[in-house]
Every structure is written in structure tokens, then in C-alpha cells.
Amino acid sequence: MAWLGCFTFYFCALKAKGNRMNKIAVIGAGTMGNGIAHVFAQFGNEVNLIDISQDSLDRGIATITKNLDRQVSKERITEEDKTNTLSRIKTYTDLGEGVSDRELVVEAATENVDLKLKIFQDLDSKAPEGCILATNTSSISITKIAAVTGRPDKVIGMHFMNPVPVMKLVEIIRGYATSDEVTKTIMDASSALSKVPVEVNDYPGFVANRILMPMINEAIITLHEGVAGVEEIDTVMKLGMAHPMGPLQLADFIGLDVCLSIMNVLYDGFGNGKYAPCPLLVNMVTAGKLGIKSGEGFYSWRHGTKELVVADNFRK
């Protein structure tokens, strides 16, 4: 009966291959979207990268190329891997064209509830019926996003960490209606990218940002109250708590606009004053000081990310 074993093995292998998604769309080519496109393409998937702005797409591809170059120079991948990865990414400014034949869409557009609800309504009418719709939102309710679609069982949170090609964690968030099957498919898809998926439930901020963001906000309040300067606060947390970087530097990496949106989601979601965003954070976002992506936040990034230079506003 050895042939039966062989046949069963062959059939299962085919089935597993058949079940593996490899037509992916990523919406948003910013900080997170280009990283998500990078890892999916690096692990052999065909990726359609979609953004409303051609400039963002161009910058996204330039960032992916630069990050692949770094991986080549560190001998983590070969020059051929780099070429193959880039050849698997196509760019689109039209959502319908980009998702029409996809099996999985990962949305990584700007953190704004109304924008995400609109994108998921569009996705529901433009992506194939069986396509799983994932969102990389840092904090917005998956259940709320799912509710604007006709397929809430196929909507799930797939929360990658920044920088995506480096960070191992993917927080997988089940909405109220997300099916077991879809959860398993996305857990497996994350493992196939050599990431470690962790399943959590849908509450404001999930786990990662419910804990991280109030700490960053508290660091900004500490600065705002004049308890200590930018460098002092970051040094206390780096050397005292063994954090790889201080909370103010991390806020600049994440983007202060993203930090503010997440604090607002926590504040609205729990109705508790302890989550009120610091007025200094609100002012900086209003003034367009968003961190690395705008060139200045708590630090000045105009001369690159190698050296930490405190922004003029926070110099003593």
C-alpha cells in the first residue's frame, strides 16, 4: 500500500500549495506599506502596491530598493534575490485595478477611521468574493471596519511592526465576526514570512499600542511639564530600562500623527482621561512636525538617521 501513502502525500502537498495565497495587494506605500510589500515579495508572493499618490509609490519603491541593498551588503540575501523581489512588485494608483484578482489585501493607508471605512467599502465591491481583507491599523476597531463590508468573517487585523523587514512580530487581531478559518490562514501566512504571529482580541489599541502608546504619551507629558529634556528622557529609558531606543525617538520613528491617532482611539474607546493625548503632541502634529517622515519631531532628521540631533525647539 506504499503507493497509497505516496498518493496521499502528493495530494496533500498539492492541496497545501493550492491553499497558499500568493496574490497579494498592499494599500498604502508609506512607512508600513512599503515594508509589508517588501517582505511579501521577498518570500515569493506577487504584490500589487497601491497608493493614491504616485509620489508615495515612487518613494516606496526607492525605500524597498535601499532596504534590499542593505540586506545584500549584509549578505542576508543575494543580488539575484533583490532583483527577483523587485520584479514581483507592481504599482497602481487605481484600487480596482490593483485588487481585481487578489487573494489577500493588506491595507496600510493613513490611520484615519473615515478613510479606512471608505477603503473597505470600496474593497468589498472591487476585490474577489473570497479575498481576505486585512488591515495593518494600529488601533482602529477591526469589528467596525468589518461591519462596512458584506464579508465580516473575512476581515482581520494583521498588525506588522516597524521596520517591517526587521521586526518579527505580527499581532493578529480577530474582529467579532472573523472566522477561525481566516484567522488560521493569516497566522500561517505570517509564519510563511518568517514572522511570529500572536493572536489577540479586538479592543482599543489591541495589546501592542494599549501598552506602548500611553508610555510614549507619558514621555511627551514629562517633556511638556519640564521634568527633563528630550535626551535625558530617552537616556533614562534606554539605559535604565534597557529599551533599544527612547520613547521620544520611537515616536519620531512611528510618526507623531500616527501616535496622536492611536491616543485618540484609546481615549474615545475607553472614555478614560488617562488616555488624553498630551497638548504638546497635538501642537506638534498641527504644526506638521511629524518625526522622521517630515524631517523633524523631537529630533531633527534633516541629516539622516545615524546621528541623534535634538530639534531646535527642545534645545536648552
Ligand X SMILES: NC(=O)c1ccc[n+]([C@@H]2O[C@H](COP(=O)([O-])OP(=O)(O)OC[C@H]3O[C@@H](n4cnc5c(N)ncnc54)[C@H](O)[C@@H]3O)[C@@H](O)[C@H]2O)c1
Active site residues: 138, 159, 171, 209
Q: How many residues bind ligand X (CB under 6 A)?
A: 27
278 makes contact with ligand X (CB under 6 A): no
DSSP state of 139: S
Q: Which of 27, 182, 21 is nearest to 96 (CA)?
A: 27
For ligand X, give the closer residue by CB, 54 or 87. Answer: 54
The Cα–Cα gap between 297 and 266 comes to 22
108 makes contact with ligand X (CB under 6 A): yes
27 makes contact with ligand X (CB under 6 A): yes
Q: State the residue for C-alpha cell 537616556.
A: 235
Task: For the chain, report the end-to-end CA distance as a whole number of angstroms.
Answer: 81
Binding string, 115-154, against ligand X, x = CB under 6 A?
Answer: x---x----------------xxx----------------
Which range touches ligand X (CB under 6 A), out of 108-116, 124-132, 147-155, 240-248? Answer: 108-116
The Cα–Cα gap between 9 and 119 comes to 41
Q: Which of 43, 52, 148, 314 binds ligand X (CB under 6 A)?
A: 52
Residue nearest to ligand X (CB): 30
84 makes contact with ligand X (CB under 6 A): no
- Where is 94: in which H helix or E strand? none
The Cα–Cα gap between 245 and 174 comes to 30
Which range touches ligand X (CB under 6 A), out of 24-32, 191-199, 225-233, 264-272? Answer: 24-32
> Grid coordinates in use for 87?
520584479
The Cα–Cα gap between 71 and 43 comes to 14
Give the helix ranges, DSSP H, for the chain. Answer: 2-19, 31-42, 54-73, 79-87, 95-99, 113-126, 142-147, 180-191, 208-224, 230-241, 247-254, 256-270, 279-286
Minimum CB separation from ligand X for residue 90, in Å?
Answer: 15
C-alpha separations of 308 from 126, 167, 217 in Å = 45, 22, 20
> Grid coordinates in use for 268?
474615545
Residue 92, strand partner residues: 50
For ligand X, give the closer residue by CB, 58 or 225. Answer: 58
51 makes contact with ligand X (CB under 6 A): yes
For ligand X, give the closer residue by CB, 16 or 287. Answer: 287
Minimum CB separation from ligand X for residue 164, in Å?
Answer: 8
Minimum CB separation from ligand X for residue 252, in Å?
Answer: 10
Q: Half-sphere exposure of residue 20, counting CA atoms within 13 Å on the CB side?
A: 18
For ligand X, give the closer residue by CB, 136 or 222. Answer: 136
For ligand X, give the closer residue by CB, 20 or 90. Answer: 90
Residues that bind ligand X (CB under 6 A): 27-33, 50-53, 56, 108-111, 115, 119, 136-138, 159, 162, 254-255, 258, 293
